[in-house]
Structure 1
Amino acid sequence: MKVKKVPQRTCLGCKTIRPKKELIRVVRTPEGEVVLDLTGKKSGRGAYTCPKLECLELTFKGSLLERALETEITAEIKENLRSEIVKLLR
C-alpha cells in the first residue's frame, strides 16, 4: 500500500514544521480582509501559526504576518485575531 504524504507547514511565530492540520491559517481574502481560516480552504493569501497566543504575538512583533500576507495589519485586526485564538483555546 502507498503511504499518504502528510502536508507540512511552518509556523510563522516559532518556526516549527508541523502537519498542516495542527496549525491555524490566517488568510487575506481577495477583498482585503484578514481573518482566521479554520477550514484551510478559504481563497486568498495564507500564512500559518500554531494555535497558541504566544506564536501569534511573535508574528505581530516582527511584522512577519504583514510580510507574509503582503498587507498592513491594523490594531483592530490584531485584536480580532487575538480574540478568535482565545476562543479556540477554551
Structure 2
Amino acid sequence: MAVNRWLRPEVYPLFAAVGVAVGICGLQLVRNICINPEVRVNKENRAAGILDNFAEGERYTEHAVRKFVRNKSPEIMPSINSFFADPK
C-alpha cells in the first residue's frame, strides 16, 4: 500500500533532486575529512596542535574547479545575455 503511494512516476524527479543533493553533501563531507588541513581524524595528528602550514591550506582552497572558473564570466548563457543586452 505504501509502495504505491511513494513510487509513482510523478515523484521520480523529487527522488533524483534529493539524491543529487545528498550526493553533493556526501562528497563535500568526504573531501573535508580526507584532505582539509584543519580536520584531524588521527590521534597523533590532533596532538600536533595548530600548525601554520599555509601551503597545504592554499592547495586545499585553490582546487581545480575554482581554478577553472576563476577567469570565466559569471553568466549562465553569455551569448544570449550579450545578444539582448549589448546594443548593436
Q: TM-score range by the shorter chain?
A: under 0.3
Bigger helix share: 2
Question: Which one has a bigger Cα radius of gyration?
Answer: 2
Report which of the two has the higher share of strand.
1
Q: Which has the higher contact order (CA 8 A, sep 6+)?
A: 1
